[in-house]
C-alpha cells in the first residue's frame, strides 16, 4: 500500500511553537488509583470451587506481598464477596480487623498490635516479604461481570446446558477474588479450580495437574507471567476443541460440544496472524499456548485475556455452508485486533485507564493493518471511511470517531479517568477509532519501517511492565530522530479536529485556513493543530508518477493560515489524498466546481473522502443538502462497495430521520432512484468467482431498498423466503440477513411467528442473530410489543436479549414503544447488561428520538434514576437528540426543494 505521508518525515525538523506539556513516562508510585503503592502483590495462588446449582462459588487464596515501607493497614479491592477468614503471615486476623467499603469497592485489613513472629508491632507491618491468606465466597452472575453463567442449546441434542466464563475488564476481577485490581499492580497468578468430571476447564496457562476428587475434578493451571489482574480468565463447561501449533506455541479453538470444528477458519487465521505479529513486534509471543474461546453468551464482543481470548460465538465460529462473507471478514478483523492486544495491552499494559487508547487504539490500528496485509480485496482501510449514523450500529474507524469528535461532548484521546466507574465509559469511538486513525497517520509520517522500529523498541523496553503515552512517543522519537511528542500533542491531548478551508486567490495561489470543525456546537473553543497535509493537482503528469509509487505533494501546516503556490487555475486541487488524514476539507465554489468536473479522474478512495466531507459539511450547517446530492449525481457509474455504502448510509440516516414526516415517501422515491441503477447491475444472484465486495454490496442494497419501501425488492425477498422455508440451501448465506430483515420488516403475525419458530429451533448463534434481528425490524406496533417481550425471557443469551430493545427502537420506527417497555422493565434488563454497557444502556434508547421534549424527558429521568457514572453518556445522547431535532427541521425544506427540482 502506498504511504502518502512518507516525505513528511523531513519536515519534522521544523521547530514547533506552542507545544503542549507532555505527560511523564510511567512511574509506579505516581500512577493514579485508589490503592496505596507501599504494598505490592507479587504472586497469587487462587482456588475456586463453583456451585452450579446455587450459582455461587467459594474460594481461597494466598498472596505474596512485597511491603516497600511500613504500613498500618492493607488495602485491596473486593466487590460482592464475603470474607470468612483472613490471616497474615500465618496469624489469623479477627473479624473486627476486616472492613469492607462497598461504595469504594475496597477491602481493608486493620493490622493487629502485635505478632508472635515479631514482624508486626504496634499495628504496623514491617517492610519486606509477607503472606496474606483469605477465604471468601461470591455469586455467579447472569450478566458478563466477574464469574458468570451461560445457558445454551447443545449443537447435536438441542438440550439446554450451562457453562461458566469470566469477564474482568475494566474492574471486575475483584468480583472473582480479592486483589489489587488496578493495571499497574502486575503479579503472577496461579489458578486452581474444581469442576464436574465431564467438563473442560480453560485459563490463561496450560493445565499443570488434574486429579479426581469427590464431586468432580481439581484442575491446577501453571502460573502466569507478571500481568494485570483484569487479564485473568476462567472458562469451564462441556467443551470441545481443535488444535495445532505455530512454532513453539500451541493454538486451540475451544467451543461448546459439536461446534469446535466451526473454529477451523479461526485456527488457520490464528497461526497466520501469530507469525506476522511475532515478526512485526520483534518479541515472540511469550506464552506456551493461545486459546481462542467461543462463548454462547455473557457479553457481545471479545476480550484479550492473555493466552485465553474469549469471543462471543458469532465473532469466532464460521460455518462454510451457512456463514456469510461478512461474517468471515469480521472474524478475521476481530481475531487480528484481540491478538494484537497480546503484545499491546497484555505484555505491555497502560498504567491507568486514562491511557486506555494505548491498548485499544493500537489494537484497532494493528488489527486493521494485519487484515489489510493478508486480504487486499477487502479494502479494509477504505471501507473504514463510512459514517456512523447513531440510529444504526456503532460506526467504524475514522468517520465514526470524527462524527463524535465534532460535538461538544467529545474528549481528547488521552482523557482523565478519576474512578473505576469512569473507566467503563472510556471504551468509546474516540479511544478506539480516533486513536487508530492517528496512529495510521503517524505511521505514514515516519514510514512503515521507522514506525515499526519504534514499536519494537517500545515493546522490548517495557515488556512485562506498564507505560504511558510518553513512553511510546519516546520510543518513536528515538527511532525516527524526530520530536514525535510535539506533533502528537494536538491530536491526543486536545479534543476535536480541524477543517481546512480552501480558497483560490488567483495567479496560482491557494489560501488554506484551519479552524476547529464542529457539529451542533456553537462557538467551540478555538484550537490549532500541526496538520500533515497531502494534496494533488488532478490531471497533472506528476500525479501519474505519484500513483506509480512516488510521494505526493505535502505541507506541514503549523499555523492558522498557510498558502500553496503555483496551482493551475484550471485544474482541480484535492486535499487529503486517499482520505488518510484526520481532518475535513472545505472548498470554495471555484475549487468545488473543478473537483466535480474531475471526478472521473479520481480514485475511489478520494471520491469516498469527498462524499464523507460533503455530508459532514451539511450536518455542520456549512453547506446545503444540494452540495452532497449534487456530488452523488455527478459520480461516474460505479459498483464500488465503499462508495455505494457511503451513499446507502446517508440515505438510511435521512430515511430514519423523516419517520412520521409527510415528505418521507417523496424522499424514498428519490433515494430509490439513486440506488436502483447499481442494484440492476449486481442483480439478485451471486455469480461464479464473485469477489466479496460485490456480495456485500448486493446485501447492502437489498437491505437499503427494502427499508426504502421498494415494492420489487419486498416482493423478491418474500418469494425467496418462501423457497428458503422449503429448501434452506436455496438462499445463499450472504443473502439471508438482508432477505430475512426485509421479510421481518413487513411481516404479518403468521410470518413473524414463523421467524420466531426458526430462531427458537436453531442452535447456530449466527442464524439466531439473523432471525431475531428480523423480528426487531417489524413496523407493526403489535409485533413490536411481542419482539420486545422476548428480551425478558431466556430464549437468547443475555447480551443478545438486551440488544433486542435498542434494535427495535432503531429499526422498527417505534422508539417510543421501546422506551416505555424498557422503562417498565429496566431493572430486569440491567441485570443482563455487562459492565461496559451498564452506564449507557438507558440513555442510548433515547438516541433514536428527534424531538426536544424527549431530551427534556431524558434529563429528568437521569436526574432521579441514573448513577453519576452515566453522566457522560447522558450528555452525548442529549446532544444527539437535540442535533437530530434541529437537523430534521433544517433538512426537510432543503430536501423538498432539491427533489422538486428533480421533478420527482
- Annotated catalytic sites, by residue? 338
Q: Are 308 and 252 in contact (CB under 8 A)?
A: no
Q: Measuring CA to CA, how many Å separate 569 from each of 574, 576, 587, 598, 627?
A: 13, 19, 14, 13, 22
* Cα–Cα distance, 702 to 774 (Å, whole number): 14
Q: Which three cell numbers stand for residue 2?
A: 502506498
Q: Which three cell numbers stand for residue 414?
A: 488521552
What phi, psi does 32 have (nearest 5°)?
-60, 165
**CA nearest 143: which of 55, 266, 58?**
55
* Residue 598 CB burial class (10 angstroms; 0-12, 13-18, ≥19): middle
Q: Which three cell numbers stand for residue 324?
A: 456469510
Burial state string for 35-49 with b = 16 or more CB within 10 A and e = fewer than 16: bebbbbbebbbbbbb
Q: Are 141 and 48 in contact (CB under 8 A)?
A: no
Radius of gyration of the chain (CA): 28
* Cα–Cα distance, 98 to 353 (Å, whole number): 28
Q: Angle at CA 722, nearest 5°, toward 720 and 725? A: 110
**CA nearest 40: which of 61, 63, 65?**
65
Q: Are 719 and 711 in contact (CB under 8 A)?
A: no
Q: Are 516 and 583 in contact (CB under 8 A)?
A: no
Rounded to the nearest 10°, the torsion over CA 77, 81, 85, 88 is -10
* Cα–Cα distance, 555 to 569 (Å, whole number): 19
Q: Are 885 and 856 in contact (CB under 8 A)?
A: no
Q: Which three cell numbers stand for residue 676?
A: 436502483
Q: Are 302 and 312 in contact (CB under 8 A)?
A: yes
Concatenated DSSP letters of 151-186: EEE-TTT--EEEEEEEE-TTTTGGGTS-B--STT--
**CA nearest 642: which of 692, 680, 604?**
604
Amino acid at each position: 500500500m502506498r504511504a502518502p505521508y512518507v516525505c513528511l518525515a523531513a519536515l519534522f525538523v521544523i521547530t514547533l511553537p506552542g507545544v503542549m506539556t507532555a505527560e511523564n513516562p510511567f512511574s509506579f508510585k505516581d500512577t493514579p488509583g485508589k490503592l496505596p503503592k507501599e504494598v505490592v502483590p507479587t504472586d497469587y495462588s487462587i482456588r475456586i470451587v463453583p456451585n452450579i446449582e446455587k450459582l455461587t462459588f467459594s474460594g481461597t487464596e494466598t498472596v505474596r506481598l512485597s511491603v516497600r515501607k511500613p504500613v498500618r493497614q492493607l488495602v485491596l479491592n473486593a466487590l460482592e464477596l464475603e470474607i470468612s477468614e483472613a490471616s497474615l503471615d500465618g496469624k489469623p486476623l479477627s473479624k473486627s480487623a476486616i472492613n469492607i467499603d462497598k461504595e469504594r469497592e475496597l477491602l481493608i485489613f486493620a493490622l493487629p498490635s502485635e505478632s508472635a513472629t515479631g514482624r508486626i508491632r504496634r499495628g504496623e507491618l514491617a517492610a519486606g516479604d509477607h503472606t496474606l491468606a483469605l477465604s471468601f465466597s461470591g455469586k455467579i452472575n447472569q450478566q458478563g461481570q466477574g464469574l458468570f453463567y451461560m445457558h445454551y442449546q447443545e449443537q447435536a441434542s438441542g438440550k439446554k446446558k450451562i457453562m461458566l466464563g469470566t469477564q474482568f475488564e475494566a474492574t471486575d476481577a475483584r468480583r472473582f477474588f480479592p486483589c489489587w485490581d488496578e493495571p499497574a499492580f502486575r503479579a503472577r497468578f496461579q489458578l486452581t479450580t474444581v469442576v464436574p468430571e465431564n467438563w473442560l476447564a480453560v485459563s490463561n496457562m496450560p493445565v499443570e495437574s488434574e486429579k479426581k476428587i469427590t464431586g468432580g475434578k481439581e484442575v491446577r493451571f501453571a502460573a502466569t507471567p507478571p500481568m494485570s489482574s483484569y487479564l485473568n480468565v476462567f472458562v469451564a463447561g462441556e467443551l470441545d476443541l481443535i488444535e495445532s501449533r505455530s512454532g513453539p506455541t500451541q493454538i486451540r479453538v475451544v467451543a461448546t460440544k459439536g461446534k469446535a470444528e466451526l473454529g477451523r477458519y479461526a485456527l488457520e487465521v490464528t497461526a497466520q496472524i501469530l507469525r506476522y505479529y511475532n515478526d512485526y513486534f520483534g518479541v515472540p509471543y511469550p506464552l506456551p499456548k493461545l486459546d481462542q474461546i467461543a462463548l454462547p453468551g455473557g457479553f457481545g464482543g471479545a476480550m484479550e485475556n492473555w493466552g485465553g481470548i474469549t469471543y462471543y460465538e458469532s465473532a469466532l465460529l464460521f460455518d462454510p455452508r451457512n456463514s456469510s462473507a461478512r461474517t468471515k471478514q469480521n472474524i478475521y478483523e476481530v481475531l487480528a485486533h484481540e491478538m494484537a492486544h497480546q503484545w499491546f495491552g497484555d505484555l505491555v499494559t497502560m498504567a491507568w485507564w486514562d491511557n486506555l487508547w494505548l491498548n485499544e487504539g493500537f489494537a484497532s490500528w494493528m488489527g486493521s493493518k494485519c487484515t489489510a496485509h493478508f486480504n487486499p480485496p477487502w479494502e479494509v482501510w477504505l471501507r473504514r471511511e463510512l459514517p456512523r449514523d447513531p440510529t444504526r450500529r456503532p460506526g467504524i474507524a475514522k468517520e465514526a470517531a470524527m462524527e463524535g469528535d465534532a460535538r461538544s461532548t467529545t474528549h481528547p484521546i488521552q482523557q482523565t479517568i478519576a474512578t473505576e466507574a469512569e473507566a467503563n465509559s472510556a471504551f468509546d469511538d474516540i479511544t478506539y477509532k480516533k486513536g487508530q486513525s492517528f496512529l495510521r497517520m503517524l505511521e505514514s509520517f515516519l514510514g512503515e519501517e521507522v514506525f515499526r522500529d519504534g514499536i519494537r523498541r517500545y515493546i522490548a523496553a517495557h515488556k512485562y511492565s506498564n507505560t504511558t503515552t510518553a513512553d511510546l512517543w519516546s520510543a518513536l522519537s528515538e527511532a525516527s530522530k524526530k520530536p514525535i511528542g510535539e506533533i502528537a500533542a494536538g491530536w491526543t491531548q486536545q479534543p476535536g479536529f480541524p477543517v481546512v478551508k480552501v480558497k483560490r486567490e488567483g495567479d496560482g495561489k491557494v489560501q488554506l485556513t484551519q479552524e476547529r470543525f464542529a457539529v451542533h456546537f456553537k462557538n467551540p473553543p478555538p484550537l490549532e493543530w500541526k496538520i500533515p497535509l497531502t494534496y494533488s493537482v488532478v490531471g497533472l503528469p506528476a500525479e501519474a508518477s505519484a500513483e506509480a509509487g512516488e510521494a505526493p505533494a505535502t505541507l506541514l501546516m503549523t499555523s492558522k493560515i498557510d498558502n500553496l503556490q503555483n496551482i493551475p487555475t484550471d485544474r482541480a486541487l484535492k486535499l487529503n489524498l486517499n482520505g488518510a488524514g484526520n481532518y475535513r476539507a472545505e472548498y470554495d465554489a471555484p475549487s468545488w466546481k473543478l473537483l466535480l468536473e474531475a471526478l472521473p479522474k479520481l480514485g475511489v478512495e478520494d471520491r469516498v473522502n469527498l462524499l464523507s466531507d460533503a455530508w459532514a459539511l451539511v450536518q455542520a450547517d456549512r453547506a446545503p443538502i444540494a452540495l452532497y446530492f449534487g456530488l452523488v449525481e455527478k459520480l461516474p457509474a460505479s459498483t464500488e462497495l465503499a462508495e455505494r455504502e457511503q451513499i446507502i448510509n446517508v440515505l438510511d440516516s435521512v430515511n430514519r430521520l423523516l419517520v412520521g414526516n409527510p415528505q418521507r415517501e417523496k424522499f424514498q422515491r428519490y433515494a430509490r432512484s439513486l440506488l436502483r441503477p447499481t442494484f440492476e447491475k449486481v442483480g439478485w444472484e451471486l455469480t461464479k468467482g464473485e469477489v466479496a465486495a460485490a456480495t456485500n454490496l448486493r446485501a447492502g442494497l437489498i437491505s437499503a431498498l427494502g427499508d426504502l419501501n421498494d415494492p420489487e425488492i419486498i416482493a423478491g425477498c418474500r418469494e425467496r423466503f418462501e423457497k428458503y422455508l422449503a429448501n434452506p440451501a436455496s438462499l445463499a448465506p450472504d443473502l439471508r440477513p438482508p432477505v430475512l430483515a426485509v421479510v421481518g420488516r413487513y411481516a404479518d403475525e403468521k410470518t413473524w411467528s414463523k421467524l420466531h419458530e426458526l430462531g427458537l429451533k436453531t442452535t447456530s448463534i449466527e442464524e439466531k442473530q439473523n432471525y431475531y434481528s428480523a423480528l426487531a425490524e417489524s413496523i407493526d406496533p403489535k409485533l413490536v410489543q411481542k419482539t420486545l417481550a422476548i428480551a425478558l425471557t431466556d430464549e437468547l443469551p443475555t447480551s443478545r436479549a438486551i440488544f433486542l430493545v435498542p434494535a427495535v427502537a432503531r429499526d422498527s420506527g417505534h422508539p417510543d414503544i421501546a422506551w416505555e417497555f424498557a422503562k417498565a422493565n429496566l431493572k430486569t434488563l440491567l441485570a443482563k447488561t455487562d459492565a461496559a454497557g451498564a452506564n449507557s444502556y438507558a440513555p442510548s434508547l433515547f438516541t433514536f428520538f428527534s424531538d426536544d421534549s424527549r431530551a427534556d424527558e431524558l434529563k429528568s429521568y437521569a436526574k432521579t434514576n441514573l448513577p453519576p457514572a452515566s453522566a457522560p453518556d447522558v450528555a452525548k445522547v442529549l446532544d444527539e437528540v437535540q442535533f437530530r431535532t434541529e437537523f430534521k427541521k433544517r433538512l426537510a425544506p432543503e430536501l423538498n426543494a432539491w427533489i422538486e427540482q428533480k421533478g420527482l
